[in-house]
Structure 1
Amino acid sequence: MGRLATGEMKRLKPSKAALAPLGKQGVSAYFLLGIIAFLWGLNYAVVRVGLESLDPMLFLMLRFGVSAILMFGLLRWKEGSIGISPGDLWKFIALGIIGTTMLESFVVVSIDYTTLANSSILSIAPWPIFAAIFAPIFTKERIRRSLIGYGLVSMLGVILVILAGGSFSLDSDLLLGNLLAFSVSVCGGFYSAACIPILQKYSALRMTTWMFSFGTLFMLPFTTKAWGATDWAGIGWSTIGALACNIFVITIICFLLWNKAMPQIGAATASFYRYLTPLAAALSGVLFFQEPVYSGQLVGACLMFMGLIGISLPAARSGTVKQKAGSSLN
């Protein structure tokens, strides 16, 4: 990385256009976050196909590792450099470990140790709460009363969507999986708040590239056995297609757009849009695996949309939320 020259440091700072709203003629940040969260939910069906031939941790490492390599090339082409300030190195390492290695690994592992319903509720429902807790530490984001009220409505909706299609249990045999799933929310809330000060200094592309790089690096020790145990010759086109979709669409495009849009409306507000993910996951089960739809899921979906609309409208009327970095990551 080395010490950066003055000219390169200027290139590191995102332009005013990069930090401005997505444009009067473009899609709003709210709509964009909703679309991305929905795509992440549909991706559950795609991942299920990919895991038929690949170990879960190996799938994750390939997904984020290949994405990071491609993004370094894109970063060099778009911004003319790939470096970061040496003083910020520890911030990217922390984001990589918590926001990529731990978060993504806990999602995959928790499913093996608890029910899908438990994993979905505990990893998604508390996420915005922790984003709201961490937000004042890293930013000066103000938590509105309407955000809390409508957020609870959305949370109730997501719980209904998940419970209607499965059974939630706090059985002691599922304790490890439940704790791992709950840890996803803690890691996700931290990541959502902690990356905003960094996005005020670096572009979404540069921040995401380095976060994925360090996240992949710390995944490597957990994939050593899987490399030799995988039948590489037997991997079919369906698995290759699932991995390619995850790399290009779900990881590179979605993460870049999410990290660009999130600072415009605040970490806590943006986190509630992740409630669309389980709804889309349930829909993907219906479309691709002929899973049944229950009336409770439809009621939950309506509550989620009501809550998200309520969250979005007050912020939209008052203008874009302006983030100011706190002292913790400076």
Structure 2
Amino acid sequence: MSDQTILCNNFNIKRFTGNKPSPWKKFYTVYLLLTTVPIFLGTSYVAAKIGMRDFLPLNLVILRFVIASLVFTLILVLKRRASCIYKKDIPQFFMLGFFAITSFFYIHYTGLQYTTSTNAGLIMATIPIFSAIFCMITKKERVTTRSRLGICIAFFGILLVISQGQFSDIFHKKTFFGDSLLILNAIVWAWFTLKSKTVLETYSPFIAMAYIHICGTILLLPFAVFPTVFAETTLLQQLPTISRASLLASVYLAVFCSVYSYFIWYLGITKIGAVKTAIFSYFNPIMAIIAGIMIFDDKLTLTIALGGLFIILGVYITNQERYPVKKCSIRREILT
């Protein structure tokens, strides 16, 4: 078989590129479903912190994505899409899985240990800013004056959130290390977004993300068995001693924050378009702030609130003022 052979001989590739009509015909149903996505994604920071009361960060990542990958696999099997990808794309899926799952969430959860849910939600809201910067660097988007202004405004917001208004003492803030990891985290996801362009041109977003989850999880599996510098206690060693709350947090993250949120997000893009769907992502940091205050008594100071406003304003301006030179696969996502 050639490199172009699909790993499924009985089906046409067109069946796997997302052209099936949605089962929901009325737009208001889609809007209603999309309102649930910021709730799940915004509360994912709190759920992760609850899970890490018992789990090491890497072990929580492994358990979350083992569960999510099993659910994704079940959906693919039921939809008869379980093995329909090009052989030549398998290395690409593993590379994307490494960025989007293996490295992204390990950095994410490690950073969460050293900062608040509020800071995390606001910093992760800057992913589109870094995505725009990467597209500018690779000359796939024209840089407008307003785009530059939006980027500067967002970075000023990040500085306010991290420093809490005390710029001279920024490196001594107790959340500085965690905030720095989350900035790196946002950069990793932005890079993944840019690199995922090729597979998203061939496969539907949901199918692509399903395989990216599965490949990223496969890369994580050895860490579940063998102790490493990233987790001296393995997932198998921790499982017998964890609490019900941590288990439920893992299931919540896997089912609702991964599988469900991806499915509804791309349903929204299909039914009402990417621009209207993107509006809902602006509520993610708001939900993260509310959840952090309610569950962990996070402090929302005036400085952090102003920083958040600057971040959201900067992201909005940048998204409104980007003119593609070439098609660049930037999706307005704040996924956790």
Q: TM-score, normalised by structure 2?
A: 0.72
> 2:333 maps to what in 1?
none
State the shift of 1:140 in Å.
5.3
Report the AA paired with residue 89 of structure 2: D
Could you tell me how far apart the structure 1 residues matched to 2:138 and 2:89 are? 15
Q: Which amino acid aligns with 2:221?
A: L
Bigger mean CA deviation after superposition, 223-232 or 119-128: 119-128
Q: Give the AA of the match of 2:127.
A: W
Question: Residue 151 and residue 174 in structure 1: after superposition, are their counterparts in 2 closer, same or farther (change >3 A)?
Answer: closer
Q: State which of 239, 242, 255 in structure 1 corresponds to 2:249.
A: 242
Report sequence identity in percent. Answer: 20
Correspondence 1:1-330 to 2 at 5 A: 3-5=7-9, 7-15=11-19, 32=34, 36=37, 39-111=40-112, 120=120, 124=124, 127-135=127-135, 145-161=145-161, 163-164=163-164, 169-170=170-171, 180-223=181-224, 224-225=226-227, 226-230=234-238, 232=240, 234-258=241-265, 265=274, 277-307=284-314, 310=317, 324=327
Question: In the alignment, residue 7 of structure 1 is paired with which amino acid?
Answer: F
Distance in 2 between the 1:243 and 1:137 partners? 37
Alpha-carbon deviations, 1:176-230, whole Å to 9, x = none? 8777544323311111222233223212221111111111122223333423431
Matched positions, count: 312
Distance in 2 between residues matched to 1:159 and 1:236, nearest whole Å: 37
Structure 2: runs of 5 or more not aligned: 228-233, 330-336
2:332 — aligned with what? none
User: Secondary structure at the residue paired with 1:70?
Assistant: helix
Question: Hey, what's the Cα distance between the residues in 2 that align with 1:48 and 1:6?
Answer: 45
TM-score by structure 1 length?
A: 0.73
Which piece of structure 1 moves more, 48-57 or 94-103?
A: 48-57
* Residue 27 of structure 1, CA deviation: 5.2
Deviations 1:42-94 (A, max 9, x none): 22211222122222211111111111111111122235443210111121111
Instruction: Tell me how large the CA RMSD over aligned residues is.
Output: 4.5
**1: CA distance between counterparts of 2:50 and 2:76?**
30
The aligned residue for residue 230 of structure 2 is: none
Give 1:312 shift.
Answer: 6.1
Q: How far 1:102 sits from its partner (Å)?
A: 0.8
